[in-house]
Chains A and B, each alone.
Chain A
C-alpha cells in the first residue's frame, strides 16, 4: 500500500521566496497532520485537519504559514515569504482514528527545506 507521499523531498530556496509543500495522505484516512522537526525544538505539530477541515492550527508559527486541504487526498503547506529560520524538515502524516484502537499516525518521508 502507498504510504503518505510528500513532495518535494528536498528544497533549497532563497529568503523571501514562496515555498509550497505538498502531501497526499493514505487513502481512506480522514485525519491529516503537518509537523515540523528541528534540532532545537524537536517535533512540533503545526496543524491538524479532520475530514478536510482545519481543527487545530495553534501550532502554525505565524501568518507567513498557511495550510489547505481542498480534498481528502491532497494538502499543501505554504510559507510566504520564507525566512532562514524556517529551515527544517516538514512532515505530513495521516491517520484514521478508531475508538479503542488509538490514533496511529503514519508519517511521510518528509520535505527537507533549506532557506538561504
Chain B
C-alpha cells in the first residue's frame, strides 16, 4: 500500500519570501510523484511530476521539487512567492502502471503582502 503525508496543513508566507511544502510517502517499491495546485474555486492543475532520472524537477510558475529516495520525500519549493501563489497544494503518488493517484490532505498556502 502507498500513502502520502503532507506535513503542514497551513503555510502562511510573505510575498517574495521562499516557501517549502513538505511531502513524504510510504512505499516499498518505486513510485511516481506529483504536485498539483488548486487555486480558489478551480480544479486541480499539474505543477510538476517525477517519474525517473534527475531528482530535481522543475515545474510551472517557478516551482521545483526534489525527490529524495532515502528520506521518501518530495518537497516542493519556490524561492520567491507572489500573491497569486495563494492556493492549496496537493502531493500525490502512484505506482508505475497503476491508474490510481493517492493524494495527500493538501497544504493551504496564503501569501500576504
> Which residues of A pack against B, CB within 8 Å?
4, 31, 42-43, 45, 48, 50, 55-56, 91, 93, 95, 97, 99-110, 112
Q: List 3 tightest A-B contacts by C-beta distance, closest first.
A: A107-B43, A102-B32, A107-B44
In the assembled complex, which residues on chain A have CB atoms less than 8 Å from the CB atom of B106?
42-43
In the complex, besides A99-B96, A102-B96, 16 extra interface pairs with C-beta distance below 8 angstroms are A45-B100, A48-B99, A50-B99, A55-B99, A91-B43, A91-B44, A93-B44, A95-B99, A97-B97, A100-B52, A103-B32, A105-B46, A105-B101, A107-B36, A107-B45, A110-B43
* Chain A residue at minimum C-beta to C-beta distance from B33: A102
> Which residues of B pack against A, CB within 8 Å?
32, 34, 36, 41-46, 49, 51-52, 90, 94, 96-101, 103, 105-106
In the assembled complex, which residues on chain A have CB atoms less than 8 Å from the CB atom of B97?
97, 99
Contact (Cβ within 8 A) B103 A42: yes
In the assembled complex, which residues on chain B have CB atoms less than 8 Å from the CB atom of A50?
99
Q: Report which of B51, B100, B105 forms a contact with A100, defined as CB distance below 8 A.
A: B51
Q: How far is the CA of A52 from the CA of B48 in the complex (A)?
A: 28
Q: Is the interface of A mostly helix, strand, loop or mixed?
A: strand
* Chain B residue at minimum C-beta to C-beta distance from A110: B43
In the assembled complex, which residues on chain B have CB atoms less than 8 Å from the CB atom of A105?
46, 101
A7 to chain B, nearest CB (A): 13
Q: How far is the CA of A107 from the CA of B101 in the complex (A)?
A: 12
B90 to chain A, nearest CB (A): 7
In the complex, 14 of the A-B residue pairs with CB atoms within 8 angstroms, ordered by the A residue number, are: A42-B105, A43-B90, A43-B103, A95-B99, A99-B96, A102-B51, A103-B94, A103-B98, A103-B99, A104-B49, A107-B36, A108-B43, A109-B42, A109-B43
In the assembled complex, which residues on chain B have CB atoms less than 8 Å from the CB atom of A101?
51
Contact (Cβ within 8 A) A104 B44: no
Q: How far is the CA of A91 from the CA of B90 in the complex (A)?
A: 15
B64 to chain A, nearest CB (A): 18
Q: Report which of B34, B44, B100, B105 forms a contact with A48, defined as CB distance below 8 A.
A: B100
Q: How far is the CA of A56 from the CA of B101 in the complex (A)?
A: 13
Contact (Cβ within 8 A) B42 A102: no
